[in-house]
Every structure is written in structure tokens, then in C-alpha cells.
Amino acid sequence: MEEQAVCVGCGVAIQTDDPKRLGYAPPSSLNKEMVICKRCFRLKHYNEIQDVSLTDDDFLRILNSIGQTKGLVIKIVDIFDFDGSWLPGLHRFVGNNNVILVGNKVDLLPKSVKPTKVINWMKQMSKELGLMPEDVFLISADKGIGVKELAQAIESYREGEDVYVVGCTNVGKSTFINRIIKEFSGEEDVITTSQFPGTTLDLIDIPLDNGASLFDTPGIINRHQMAHYVDKKDLKFISPKKEIKPKIFQLNEGQTLFFGGLARFDFIQGNRNSFTCYVSNDLYIHRTKLENANHVYKEHLGVMLQPPGEALKGSFPELVAHEFMIKDNKTDIVFSGLGWVTINEPGVKVVAHVPKGVGVMVRKSLI
């Protein structure tokens, strides 16, 4: 086995001994200039996913080693799942290194939303969360929006040093790096991307022109995300691909909204109010009376209320209730990885139900 060979897709060390283990490639492929592991090969050509994960310890180890070297840290968050993809505590690990905060997937936000407003919101949130980025960018790695400007900023902020790209799985880190490579070298798709969380493995070293490198770090899996509780064919219901069309519901107290079978929102108390839902356009939102909601869920989960589909409904975690008293204008209730509901007027009591293990939080409205 050639020890130094690494997969051009995910960066894992290539081995030719055991097809079932990570990093396997057939011996014949070692003669090629670019070796790709079996897992990435299947992902690329057949869109098949193999689940792998990085432990929290491994991730902290990587962050620690970044803190001990000099370089520019690019922290990518998913603007659609800002809180869930935040990587709390990063500022403690990066040492004195500068951080650029990048919000990806801006293409999902409604066109009416002003980027400067979102950038200001991100700056404010960062401050509250203890991170002081040098600069904040809003991009779409997928559509190429804002990538050139970011690449230029990276070039000037790094002052000849290495660049480390960090982010939790599914924020679009690989897609971003593929774009950046294209910006710098004109090559396409040298890193594997996938819709399933947890598919980028080891540090990938991308040479920059002055001998410094851009490192792609593996993403940590965000266990509070809804994506872990659905089948991969159902991911489209929770990871939107297109601009979100907000759906507005005028509700009276005692009404409930179901987001497929994945989450539920109860308006418990307060004056008639408008609620704006920012979720994947493909996800069916069902309105019902609060008093019937338990029954409706029991009867219709897996059929009218899906995902989860029929086959998975038996193993789907039970929904857990989280109660919130809303005191401010324009507040978002965020369902980690699914989207959010903006409550337009204060003075209401609501309950958000999510599968056990999925995060729910309240924040000042993003939009």
C-alpha cells in the first residue's frame, strides 16, 4: 500500500486492503494521478451515501491545533440554520487568529431581504455569542454569489498565512471550497460534496500560490439538527434547494400548525396574530385546532403528515414540547435545521414541539 496517497474527494488516507474500511480504493487506482476512495466514488457517481462521523474529541483536537498555529480562520455557518451550525466555543480555540464569518446559502432567503440587514444581524449575533470576526460575508457557495469578493478578502486578510475553513457538517463547506478552488485554479469538483451530513473527513490541503495552504477541516456533526431524524430521500423537505417562499398564517389562540410530521407549533394564548413560516417550500404545513392536534398527529403521521414516511413513523422520536412567552416584536422560534416561525406581535404564549434531541430556540427576528 502506498502510504502517502490520499483521496482527492475527502482527504482520507487511501488503503487497498479492506473494501469495507474507510479509504479503500482498488490497487489499480493507485497508478492514477488522482486517487478517489470507494466511498467518494460511489457518492459522486451513484449518489450513494455512507454514513461516517467525527467525534467531538477529534473535532476539538483539530480546532486546538489550529489555535496553536498562525492562520486565518474562515468560519462557515448555514444562514438557514444559523444557531444550529454556529460551533459554540470556537473563539476559545482559535487563539489569536483572525476569523472571518461566512453565512452560506443566501440564495434561500427571500429576494426581498436586504443582505446588509442580514450581515448586521450576523454581526450582532456574533457579538452576543462571544465571537469578534474581522469581517462578515454572505454568500451562496452553490450559486457562486459573493464568492469572488470573499476570495479577495481572504487573500488580503490572510497576509500570506495559511487559511483554515471550519464549519459543522452540511453548512456547504465542501461546495464552498470547490468554488474557491475554481476561483484560484480553474479546476472543478475536487472535493466531494453531499447532501447527507457528515461526509467530509480529514484535513484537505489546497496549495495557495505563495506556498501557504488552504485547509478544509472535517465538519462536526450537529446532532440537534432535524436532518438526523429523516430518511435521506426526505432531506429535500428540510434542506431547501430554492428560495424560500414565506407562508403567512393568521391564527387565533388555540390553533396549531404541523410541519409535515416533523414539528408542531401551538398558539396557546394571545390576540389574533400573524405567523410567518420560513421552511422548505416542499414541506406541507397543516393547520388544525389545538384541541384536536394530538389526535390528528396520531391518526395522520406518516401519510398526511410526512416526513417521516409510513415506513419510518414507528421509529420516529416522540415530539417534545418547549414553551415560550414572547415579549418582543418580531421574534423567531427556530426549529434546528428545519427553519423558523416569525411571531410578529408580542404578548403571546406558544409551544414548539420537535423530535426528542432536536434543538428549538428563540431569537430576535432575522428578517
Which residues, in sequence order, are CB contacts of 194 under 8 Å at separation 6+? 43, 49, 174
Q: Which of 23, 84, 146, 219 is close enough to bind ligand GDP by CB under 6 A?
A: 219
Q: Which stretch binds ligand GDP (CB under 6 A): 49-57, 101-109, 124-132, 271-279?
A: 101-109
147, burial (CB in 10 Å: exposed 0-12, middle 13-18, buried 19+):
buried
Q: Which of 29, 97, 126, 194 is close enough to bind ligand GDP by CB under 6 A?
A: 194
Under a CB-based contact definition with an 8 Å cutoff, are residues 172 and 104 in contact? Answer: yes
Distance CA 294, CA 66 (A): 49
Q: Is 11 in the site for ligand GDP (CB under 6 A)?
A: no
The nearer residue to ligand GDP, 71 or 172, going by C-beta atoms, is: 172
The nearer residue to ligand GDP, 189 or 253, going by C-beta atoms, is: 189
In the numeric block, the cell 488552504 is attached to 214
Q: Which of 29, 98, 126, 193 is close enough to bind ligand GDP by CB under 6 A?
A: 193
Q: Is 217 in the site for ligand GDP (CB under 6 A)?
A: no
* Residue of this chain nearest to ligand GDP (CB atom): 172
Q: Which stretch binds ligand GDP (CB under 6 A): 137-145, 274-282, 312-320, 339-347?
A: 137-145
Q: Which stretch binds ligand GDP (CB under 6 A): 123-131, 192-200, 221-229, 275-283?
A: 192-200
Q: Is 286 in the site for ligand GDP (CB under 6 A)?
A: no
The nearer residue to ligand GDP, 193 or 255, going by C-beta atoms, is: 193
The answer, yes or no, to whether the previous bond of 115 is cis (omega within 30 of 0) is: no
Measured between its terminal Cα atoms, the distance across the chain in Å is: 54
| Residue 213, beta-bridge partner list | 207
What is the crossing angle of helices 147-157 and 173-185, to 10°? Answer: 80
In the numeric block, the cell 428578517 is attached to 367
DSSP, residue by residue, 83-126: TTT--TTHHHHSTT--EEEEEE-GGGS-TTS-HHHHHHHHHHHH
Q: Is 98 in the site for ligand GDP (CB under 6 A)?
A: no
Q: Which stretch binds ligand GDP (CB under 6 A): 15-23, 170-178, 263-271, 282-290?
A: 170-178
Q: Is 99 in the site for ligand GDP (CB under 6 A)?
A: no
Q: How far is the CB of 145 from ligand GDP (least distance, A)?
A: 8
Q: Is 39 in the site for ligand GDP (CB under 6 A)?
A: no
Q: Is 226 in the site for ligand GDP (CB under 6 A)?
A: no
Element (H, E) at 75: strand 71-78
Q: Is 141 in the site for ligand GDP (CB under 6 A)?
A: yes
Q: Is 172 in the site for ligand GDP (CB under 6 A)?
A: yes
| Residue 322, beta-bridge partner list | 352
Under a CB-based contact definition with an 8 Å cutoff, are residues 167 and 119 in contact? Answer: no
Distance CA 143, CA 152 (A): 18
Q: Is 173 in the site for ligand GDP (CB under 6 A)?
A: yes
Q: Which of 38, 39, 105, 228 is close enough to bind ligand GDP by CB under 6 A?
A: 105
Under a CB-based contact definition with an 8 Å cutoff, are residues 96 and 347 in contact? Answer: no
Provide the binding-site residues for ligand GDP, judged by CB under 6 A: 104-105, 107-108, 140-143, 167, 169-175, 193-195, 199-200, 219, 239, 241
